[in-house]
Amino acid sequence: MSFDPTKNIKIGLKHSLALLTLFFAFSGFSASAQESLAIRAGKIITGVGQEIKDGTILIEQGKIVAIGKEIQLPANVKVQRYPNGVIIPGFVFAHSQAGLRISNENLPVVPYISVMDGIDPISRNFPNLLREGVTTVHVLPGNRTRIGGQGAILRPYGKTVDEMLVKNASAIKISLAPGFGQSPMSHMAAMRNDFLSLYNYLKSLIPVEPGQELPEAGTAVSSLTGLVRPAPKWSAIDYKKIPEGKIDAQRMPFVKLIKKEIPAVIYCSQASDVLKAFEIMDTHGIKARIVMSSSAYKAKDILKKRKDLGPIVISPNLETTEIDPITGKEKKIKIGKVLHDAGIEFAVETVTPSGIFNLSGSYHPWFQVATLIKQGVPKDVALKALTLTAAKAIGLDHRLGSLEKGKDANFVIFSGDMFDVRTWVDHVFIEGREVYARSKDHELQELLKDKEKGN
Amino acid sequence: MSPLVVPNHKNKLKSLLLLLLFALMVSPAVQADDHKKKEKAKKKEAPKSYVLKAGRLYTGTGELLEPAVVIVKDGKITAIGKKLDLPKDLPVLDYSTQTILPGFIAFNLPLAGRNSDARSLSPEYLALDAYDIFREYNSLLRAGITSAGISTRSNRLLSGRGLVVKTGGAKGEEHKRIVRAAGGFEVQLGEPSKRPPSVYNPPVLASPDDPFKVLPIQPPVSRAGALHALSELMAMAKAYDAKRKEKGSKTSFEPGLEALRDLVSGKDYLKVQADRAIDIVALADLAHKNKVSVAFEGAREAYRLRELLAQRKIPVVLTGTFEPGKLSREDLSQTTIYGASQDGIVGTLLKAGVKVGLQTPSDSPDLLLFQALDAVRLGISTQDALKTITSTPAEILGVQDRVGSLQKGKDADFVVFEEDPFKTGGSPVATFVSGKMVYPLLKDQPEDITLIRCGIVYPVSSAPIHGGVIALKDGKIHAVGNAAVLGMFPNAKKVIDATDQVVIPGMIDAVSQLGVHSERIFPTTSRNHPSGGGGRATYRLYDALDPKDPDLQVVGNVGFTTVLLTPDPVGSFSGQITAIKIRGKDQDPKVVKDPVAFLMGSVSTSTLKSAQKYHETWVKYEKALEDHKKKLEKEAKEKKEKEKAQAEKGKEGKKPTPKPAAKAPTEPTRSKDMDVLRAIFTGKLPVLVNARSESYFKNIFVGLTDKVKTKVTIMGPSGLSSASRDELRRRKIGFLMHPSSIQNKASFPQQLDSNGIPFGIVSGTSVGARDLPFQIAYAVREGLSEKAALEAVTLAPARFFGLDKNIGSIEDKKDADLVFLSGRPFGLTTQVLRVMVDGKFVYQKEK
């Protein structure tokens, strides 16, 4: 492929722009990726339904400024060519415990802790994620804490957690799975109480004249179940009236949740938990995303009717078996297919590995995509479940998840077709910078050394 | 964004405009299409409104309607009575020969798991939080249980509030299964709730103001402790309620006490598990003092307090004692000492005026009806027994406005029984929740279903079904079963009423010479016969069939829908057998299978040997031919490659001398007769072999069955030695007999039946089949079982000749060939009323 550099009079301007941005560089990561770069590849899958043969991506300051088959390139741009390469958007994990050795605190209500303090930046999880082509990972506390800590959205690349950080305090984890020694009854009663006591606490902070006391919590009726449940009167709390610095630092993140400054991620361990998640969202007016186990698919019709949910995140197990009530035989439930047919937008999780390499297929993002396709989900929807829809589930779809103009230059270059067993992740780019190259992956080379010799 | 990149805006705009235009043009069409699809989907769904007819209907409130009509609209009952003005636009669900009961109500099922929390008093806990509303409880629906109280079930004094749900239905809107989200505070008195563990409940955000501390040991240890804890809780709840009612109340919200406000204000009740009289009386007093309602559960000693319970209008839900395999542990001597009569505890309490409900032991939740039947056995009335599992538990659970009885305005939850369960027992055939059938589950909902409601169906492949229903689709049987089939296809296009008739599969005459008069005039043995004469393998009696022969109708009208046209047993290879279906006078008969079998007049070892030799020669030839073809292909390929190599090398070298082509194997001499016979060696064509006496059997076994792969059926003599019978059974050889076997020895077919030898009875003549049913009726009178007799003219011959995929029994996917009788099959006065072939009536008896 020959490339005729177009003569452009605006070269000088371009350079001065680049210099300018150098001054305004805020993050250590993106500052280093200011140069413009063009990537040419045999095929570019944009992740929004397009496939560009022999396409080019032009990157400036970590963002995609142009993508297409025939695009004009600036004169002195560095062009990297991958004639056999297949480019797809970098994978996004919407719910993960990567880098956390212990993901649950033993106290049930810990909104004040943050995964930022628990993540081990030199954990093997991260290089492993890069090797798989993952460019963004939403790390959240585990499913065994009632009101868990705050999550963070990271790049799996960097020496410190701060370097890896994309977004801090991204969400607060709420789990509807009862903790050890608890039944769903006591778990939910305690959950209702957690919100009540926060209300009572905030109420106590606002100085009032005698006789002007703020209202006590009341009750409200759930629209779906008809249950009369305790309901704090959050609208009565005027946060401006709370003296500065009066709110306990430990309670602050929980308060932010109520103020809708942080969304919640609610884990549903079974279908009926979905009704409880709705109860929490309605009673306290919080923003929430649903993460659900493989048995929660039964609530599909009810999930579908609710319009404010955004994509649902489904657990790594994409298949479950149950007894067919008609035939009495065990039948396989293809969760991806069932949800897609129901018209539900969903993102898919992968298994967080414990060792260096995990043999289970659902550890690999491409395997999850392939499983969805095998179940009968359309190809683009299946890919989106780990790219654009996952980005939407973490509220970053304006930046991540697809290869479009203006988005972060996060992508993976495969050595060939993504689902071919002989295909490898050759290169991974995050914000326009190559963060992984198989040729430099010493760990992988060490592991495959003997194999390639034929032993 | 860099200004250096100039995207092609113009093109983009153009394409956008085009797209927009296209979308505008297409969208109305798309919408219309969508609309159509939606309409179609609507049609396929079961109707939400219909008229329900019942032979007998118990309302659950003490009334019995006979017959009954119910109008169901959107899952609710809008009218019910013996006779109603029926709206004409509604479909009819006709259960006019069945009995309908209200859906049963299980008072307390422990389906919310176990509340393992350690607290003794936790009124704010909800069974709803632990119950999986999405689970299918099919065993309950099968048992007719449509609603259930779900408890918090725990060994704690007051463990929380129960829940009332429907056990099924509302697919896609499962939350609608909730009838009452919270109701009934579960109290456990007696030993289980005593000595609870102490609770360690650290403050989540510990501070100097709220330090970690160990809570004291919890009550209760004794009955007094339990009662004290409860009355204290009651007092607290009352005080809390009063304070909360004040305007501008400063009392902060306490979830447990907030929940108990419903109790002290009379909206909710205490659901107390207590067995001992002393516990019951103590709690009854506590409830009385605090003016709260209470219901007792379990309550084995309640009969001792019946006057008190009646006076205070306290209901009791007893646990039935029937469990499969377990004998009653009740000390019946005690009941007599304390004045209980022979009526059992239920009767005793009812007589005293106590409201009594019944529940099952928790191990067998599906035996609710059995507990009520047990109570009937002990002497209480049917209506009272029904109330104990329907309206009474509904009333106690506080859901009587929706479920528990069949009355105007209530949910259409009902159970269909083939016969009155209080008279004959039996299990439900169908269960409905909110007007929709939930048991058995629907497989699919095809359109164009015709239903036949029968008096008795004899499917032959299974036991007779009283009140059976057959669903037909496109001339085939789509489903067969009890009255549940009616509810499965509420959209049926047509319902044929045959409730006073007996339905059997169309009969098969496996050896017949029907409709071939000309053949009888020119005996087939004659070599001058136009067909070339009988006694040869290519001979086919079917060729001589006169489709307009009136004899066909004579035989068809007695219920034979399929006959096998069989040549005379002449020579050793007598000819081919053809199966035809008789389809009334307006249609010519149709070939079912041709040839369906091959007839051997006798087994001649030498002829068989030559046939086998012929077959083997041909197999050899065919294999050789195959090999030859492969070889040629290979050679052609090699030749091409060589030429290619040659071309690459250039024109140097000599051209290789072409090899002489391999010789093709020579074809053996062909014989048409022998060609037909090859099918018996490959197993493709069954053989019917004639044996005039047992002495031919050895020849058949050794010469035929041991040599050929095909299925062999013997048309045999009228009597068999036990050795022959053993041999037939061992070799799984079918046996066909002529009615003369019955004449000689009426016990002969019985003998075969009891020896497990499948047999068929055939006419062997032209119109002889007309009298065949009556001949068999004679055998039945002489002791042949009805089942074996029916099989002999249906499934047995169908199996012998490989026709059982399509005919021979009333089963899914088989042809709808049915015979409608006035009485039992082979009843001496039974008449054939109608005959159906491929879903169409081909004969109707004139009235």
Specify the CATH number for the domain of residue A33.
Answer: 2.30.40.10
**B483 vs A176, B419, B452, B534, B645, CA distance in Å?**
44, 11, 10, 52, 78
The two tokens of residue B433 are: 């929740």
Question: Tokens 């061992």 appear where?
Answer: B730
- Those of residues 259-288 in A touching chain B at CB distance below 8 A are 270-272, 275-276
Where among A400, A415, A443 does a domain terminate? A400
pLDDT, residue A65, reads: 94
pLDDT, residue B650, reads: 64
CB contacts < 8 A, A to B, total 146
Closest residue, chain B, to A304 (C-alpha): B172
pLDDT, residue B136, reads: 82
Q: How many angstroms separate the CA atoms of A218 and A228, rounded?
A: 10
Mean pLDDT for B708-716 is 84
Q: What is the mean pLDDT of chain A?
A: 87
pLDDT, residue B657, reads: 62
Whether the predicted pLDDT of B533 surpasses 60: no
Looking at B52-66, B520-534, B610-624, which range is the least confident one?
B520-534
pLDDT, residue A99, reads: 86
Q: How many angstroms separate the CA atoms of A389 and A397, rounded?
A: 8
A13 to chain B: which residues are within 8 Å by CB? 3
Whole-angstrom distance between the N-terminal and C-terminal Cα of chain A? 39
> Nearest CB to B125: which of A65, A189, A196?
A189
The two tokens of residue B714 are: 């013997």
**B740 vs A428, B752, B763, B835, CA distance in Å?**
90, 15, 9, 27
| Contact across the interface for A188 and B126, Cβ inside 8 Å | yes
Mean pLDDT for A166-182 is 90
The two tokens of residue B52 are: 């329900």
> Are residue A192 and residue A248 in the same domain, yes or no?
yes
pLDDT tens digits for range B362-397: 778 888 998 898 888 888 899 999 999 999 999 999
SS3 call for A43: strand
DSSP 8-state assignment for residue B210: B
pLDDT tens digits for range B425-457: 777 889 999 998 888 876 666 778 899 999 999
Q: How many angstroms separate the CA atoms of B218 and B214, rounded?
A: 11
**B229 class by beta-carbon count within 10 Å (0-12 exposed, 13-18 middle, 19+ buried):** middle
SS3 call for B1: coil
Whether the predicted pLDDT of B703 surpasses 80: no
- Those of residues 197-256 in A touching chain B at CB distance below 8 A are 200, 211, 213, 216-219, 222, 224-228, 230, 232, 248, 250-251
Q: Who wins on pLDDT, B717 or B464?
A: B464
Q: Who wins on pLDDT, A435 or B545?
A: A435
Whether the predicted pLDDT of B827 surpasses 50: yes
Looking at B71-85, B283-297, B576-590, B647-661, which range is the least confident one?
B647-661
Half-sphere exposure of residue B168, counting CA atoms within 13 Å on the CB side? Answer: 26
Return the percentage of chain A with pLDDT > 70, whole number. Answer: 89
Question: Tokens 């460019």 appear where?
Answer: A135
Intrachain domains B46-103+405-441 and B445-504+809-847 with the same fold:
yes
Whether the predicted pLDDT of A359 surpasses 70: no
> Are residue A131 and residue A258 in the same domain, yes or no?
yes
pLDDT tens digits for range A393-421: 999 999 999 999 999 999 999 999 988 88
Mean pLDDT for B52-64 is 93
> Are residue A223 and residue A248 in the same domain, yes or no?
yes
A13 interfacial to chain B (CB closer than 8 Å)? yes
> Are residue A236 and residue A380 in the same domain, yes or no?
yes
Closest residue, chain A, to B441 (C-alpha): A326
pLDDT, residue A2, reads: 41
- E strand or H helix that includes residue A284: helix A273-284
B138 to chain A: which residues are within 8 Å by CB? 325
The two tokens of residue B740 are: 């003369």
pLDDT, residue B175, reads: 92
SS3 call for B138: helix
DSSP 8-state assignment for residue A271: T
Most confident of A345-354, B34-43, B456-465: B456-465
Question: Do B759 and B752 form a contact (C-beta atoms < 8 A)?
Answer: yes
pLDDT, residue B658, reads: 61
Mean pLDDT for A380-384 is 94
pLDDT, residue B531, reads: 47
A219 to chain B: which residues are within 8 Å by CB? 258
Mean pLDDT for A326-355 is 86
SS3 labels along A173-191 = EEECCCCCCCCHHHHHHHH
**B376 vs B71, B285, B373, B382, B388, CA distance in Å?**
31, 32, 5, 6, 11
CB atoms within 10 A of CB B608: 21
Return the percentage of chain A with pLDDT > 90, whole number. Answer: 65
User: Is residue B808 very low, low, confident or very high in pLDDT (cuts 50, 70, 90)?
Assistant: very high
pLDDT, residue B549, reads: 87
> Are residue A189 and residue A291 in the same domain, yes or no?
yes
Q: How many angstroms separate the CA atoms of A242 and A258, rounded?
A: 15
pLDDT, residue B342, reads: 55
Question: Tokens 């007309």 appear where?
Answer: B770
Whether the predicted pLDDT of A327 surpasses 80: no
> Are residue A264 and residue A329 in the same domain, yes or no?
yes
pLDDT tens digits for range A34-80: 578 999 999 999 999 889 999 999 999 999 999 999 888 888 899 99
- What angle, rounded to 10 degrees, do the helices at B223-245 and B255-264 form? 90
Q: How many angstroms separate the CA atoms of B147 and B126, rounded?
A: 18
Whether the predicted pLDDT of B92 surpasses 50: yes
Q: How many angstroms separate the CA atoms of B561 and B83, rounded?
A: 42
B258 to chain A: which residues are within 8 Å by CB? 219, 230
CATH number of B507-617+671-807: 3.20.20.140
> Are residue A212 and residue A286 in the same domain, yes or no?
yes
Mean pLDDT for B400-417 is 95
Query: Which is nearest to A135 in space by CA: A427, A438, A441, A422?
Result: A427
Q: How many angstroms separate the CA atoms of B169 and B133, rounded?
A: 11
Secondary structure (DSSP) of B518-540: HHHHS-TT-TTSTTS-SSSTT-B
Q: How many angstroms separate the CA atoms of B226 and B220, rounded?
A: 5
Domain total in chain A? 2
> Are residue A213 and residue A319 in the same domain, yes or no?
yes
Per-residue burial over A368-394, b = 16 or more CB atoms within 10 Å of its CB, e = otherwise: bbebbbebebeebbbbbbbbbbbbbbb
Whether the predicted pLDDT of B337 surpasses 60: no
pLDDT, residue B45, reads: 54
> Are residue A81 and residue A98 in the same domain, yes or no?
no
Does domain B445-504+809-847 fall under CATH 2.30.40.10? My reply is yes
> Are residue A62 and residue A188 in the same domain, yes or no?
no
> Are residue A2 and residue A123 in the same domain, yes or no?
no
> Nearest CB to A60: which of B2, B133, B182?
B2
| Contact across the interface for A272 and B172, Cβ inside 8 Å | no
Sheet strands side by side (includes A165-167): A91-96, A134-139, A152-154, A165-167
User: Is residue A239 very low, low, confident or very high in pLDDT (cuts 50, 70, 90)?
Assistant: very high
| Contact across the interface for A272 and B117, Cβ inside 8 Å | no
Question: Tokens 């009653």 appear where?
Answer: B328
Residue A181 C-alpha, separation from nearest chain B C-alpha, in angstroms = 7
Q: What is the mean pLDDT of chain B?
A: 84
How much of chain A is helix, strand and coil, in % rounded to 5? 30, 25, 45
Question: Which of B8, B115, B122, B134 is the best mutation test for A, with the most CBs of A within 10 A?
Answer: B134
pLDDT tens digits for range B137-181: 888 998 999 999 999 878 889 999 999 999 988 888 899 999 999
Question: Which of A8, A185, A198 is the best mutation test for B, with the most CBs of B within 10 A?
Answer: A185
pLDDT tens digits for range B671-698: 777 887 888 888 888 999 988 888 888 8
Domain encompassing residue A152: 92-400
Question: Do B511 and B715 form a contact (C-beta atoms < 8 A)?
Answer: yes
CATH number at residue A326: 3.20.20.140
Query: Which is nearest to B525 in space by CA: B566, B565, B571, B564?
Result: B571
ipTM: 0.86
Whether the predicted pLDDT of A8 surpasses 60: no
pLDDT, residue B677, reads: 80
Whether the predicted pLDDT of B4 surpasses 50: no
The two tokens of residue A271 are: 């279908």
CATH number of B46-103+405-441: 2.30.40.10
> Nearest CB to B134: which of A183, A222, A271?
A271
| Contact across the interface for B133 and A301, Cβ inside 8 Å | no
pLDDT, residue B524, reads: 52
Q: Who wins on pLDDT, B748 or A414?
A: A414
pLDDT, residue B18, reads: 44
User: Is residue B569 very low, low, confident or very high in pLDDT (cuts 50, 70, 90)?
Assistant: confident
Q: Where are the domains of chain B?
A: 46-103+405-441, 105-193, 445-504+809-847, 507-617+671-807
Sheet strands side by side (includes B178-180): B104-109, B145-150, B163-166, B178-180
Q: CB-based contacts of B123: which residues, under 8 Å, 6+ apart?
A: B158, B160, B161, B185, B233, B256, B257, B259, B260
> Are residue A139 and residue A266 in the same domain, yes or no?
yes
pLDDT tens digits for range A113-159: 999 999 999 888 899 899 999 999 999 999 888 999 999 999 999 99
